[in-house]
Chain A
Amino acid sequence: MTATKPSPQASATTFSSSEPALVKRIITSTAFMIAVVVLVLILLFGALSPNAVFLGPANFRNLALDSAQLILLAVGMTFLVGAGELDLSIGANVILSSVVAAKVITLLGGTPEEVLAGNYSNVGVAIFFGLLAAVATGTVFGIVNATLVNLLRVNSFIVTLAMMSVGSGIAYIVTGGVNVSALPRDLQKNFGSADFFGIIPVPAVIAVLLGIVAWFAMTKLRFGTHTLGMGSSIRAAQRAGIKVKTQRVKLFGIMGLIAGLVGFIDISRFLTTNIQGHQGDALAAIAAVVIGGTSLFGGRASVLGSIIAAIIPAILINGLVIMRVGSFYQLVVTGLILLVAVGIDQRRRTQPS
């Protein structure tokens, strides 16, 4: 307690004088610190790489393309973690959505013989409905997650752990364990590996645009306040008349939609599904979210921090490969950064502000 005198003049000055300055808030924000880390990593690899190839435009294009999918997943995960929820099933969701999309594309693309030869007679319609199928599958998957959490009254960690198994199981059943490949090359040429102005990858542009929308929703819209309020105290949110279950459906639905989109980007880049892959997607996204300054216990979230932190794995893989060090070290370094980030966050939390 610093002030209790009920004098209007005193309170007016108290209010206006001690709002923290904008510059100070930016510099002390986790997003800013992570941005510094990313910058240091880029400069470090730039200095260490032969002929500074790491800093070349072609490499930046690769970085952007490689981080796009993780950025998208991390953005969706920021809302869930901010709301005190988790989704461990996003990797399975990405796989299932991509499988359904690939199936739709091969079914609509032409006769089986044509498709097998990679010669799609009906490519436009096939791709359009493929995208639709991916996004729809992802969204439904997410809504199922939320509905199960709401109905079973079990936390989302357990529900999505189970759904991770269910989702990849269905993907295996649908495909018989064989990846759907030989997808139309137009998908790669015009979308998955396409560039704006010959250098900016389309998936990266999508990731950044979605990131901006997400940042706006989190910081400026009622949706963001309700999300963080729910993560801060679910009881307070209920008492404030917020429809927590509906909000949960929306949040998981958005996460699922993003996972579906990522699944579509994935098949667009590689022209095949990858049912054995994406095992680490959920944990990589959660790691990026936490490194970026979102509290793992909900209530505080930074979309910008998540986006910046989601670039780190790509930078590490890329830089280590250029330096001819095994890219597996990336996992170790990402893990260490996560530990440091959580450590800093914990320190901040226990210190009186």
Chain B
Amino acid sequence: METDLSGLHPPDQPVIETRGITKSFGHVEALRGASLRAYPGEVLALIGDNGAGKTTLANIIAGVHASDEGELLLRGISVDVASVRQARELGIEIVYQDLAQAPDLTVSQNFFFGRELLVKGIGRFLGKVDERAMRERTKEAMTLLGAQVPSLTVPVSALSGGQRQAIAVARAVMWAKAAIIMDEPTAALGAKQTAMVYDAVRAAADRGLAVILVSHDIPKMIEFADQMAIMRHGSVVAQMPTAGLELVDVLTTMLTAQKDAA
């Protein structure tokens, strides 16, 4: 879990690629053929106006929703993710906008929620959890990202928003083997906490993961992300490196581009 993943695949091959993903909720067409590529060690910012389909696309990659049409490729191989569980088994983790934490469980219990480490021996058969091992691993993962909490045995409800966010990011980094998807990870945070989360995101990318970051903060994304995918009306109208990108160009694309420009 703590191994360096950067050597596993050539940097020019995308870890995650979507091709022509469509998704409708009843009569609402949320996605009309969305295609993007996320590369190892890079942060891909997924931006667009409200209702452009950012969260839907992120959720489809993470297995929260199933797509209607289109293809999801993991390291060039077409994969089928019908559930969050399947996406996780493929090494894709998501940090939800609302974090999806159980506030009464402790930090380490949340880290391993649904994937508890069990003791060895007879206790394993009963489903006895290995609290000590879980705490150790949580501590390692938190330290790796430079994230801090006062204690691993307090319920997460006792922590600040930034700490909870950092826990969610560290948790995703610990489990991810291919990619992390983050939906507005700094939306509810102050400046100091936001900086802490961005540090954690960069640290995750530096470990060779592909990071897809759904965000509204375009200036920050131009500065922080490596690539930018711009969505409009359910499709990705442009994807390009952020180097040399101007805010006005991004905004123009975001608000006026036609689908066939993709």
Contact = CB atoms under 8 A, between A and B. Distances in A.
Given A1-B192, A229-B102, A299-B104, A239 B151 contact: no
Contacts of B149: 14-15
Contacts of A353: 154, 158
Interface string B136-175: 0001001101111111111000101011000000000000
Contacts of B84: 239, 241
Interface residues of A, number: 40
A228 B192 contact: no
A347 interface: no
Interface stretch (A90-98, A145-153, A218-226): A218-226
Interface stretch (B3-11, B38-46, B123-131): B123-131
A240 B150 contact: no
Contacts of A8: 143, 146
Contacts of B147: 6, 11
A11 B149 CA distance: 8
Interface stretch (B20-28, B109-117, B176-184, B217-225): B109-117
Given A1-B192, A2-B150, A221-B127, A299 B103 contact: yes
B196 A225 contact: no
Interface residues of B, number: 45
Contacts of A189: none
Contacts of B151: 15, 18-20
Contact of B150 (A18, A225, A235): A18
A199 to B, nearest CB: 33
B104 A300 contact: yes
A222 B102 contact: no
A333 interface: no
A184 interface: no
A4 B166 CA distance: 10
Contacts of A221: 126-129
A3 interface: yes
Nearest to A3: B148
A226 B116 CA distance: 10
Contacts of A300: 104
A236 B102 contact: yes
Contacts of B153: 19-20
Given A20-B153, A220-B129, A228 B193 contact: no
Nearest to B118: A222
Interface string A212-248: 0000000011110110110111011101111000000
Nearest to A15: B139
A10 interface: yes
A20 B155 CA distance: 12
B192 A4 contact: yes
For A19, A229, A236, A300, the residue with the greatest tally of chain B CB atoms inside 10 Å of its CB is A236
Shortest Cβ-Cβ A-B pairs, 6 listed:
A6-B146, A299-B104, A240-B114, A232-B104, A232-B102, A222-B127
Given A18-B150, A239-B100, A240-B113, 19 more contacts: A1-B163, A4-B162, A5-B148, A11-B139, A11-B146, A11-B148, A220-B128, A225-B116, A225-B129, A232-B104, A233-B100, A236-B100, A236-B101, A240-B114, A240-B115, A241-B84, A242-B114, A298-B104, A300-B104
12 contacts: A1-B162, A3-B148, A4-B196, A14-B149, A19-B151, A220-B128, A225-B116, A225-B129, A228-B105, A240-B102, A241-B88, A353-B154
Interface of A: 1-8, 10-12, 14-15, 18-20, 220-223, 225-226, 228-229, 231-233, 235-237, 239-242, 295, 298-300, 352-353
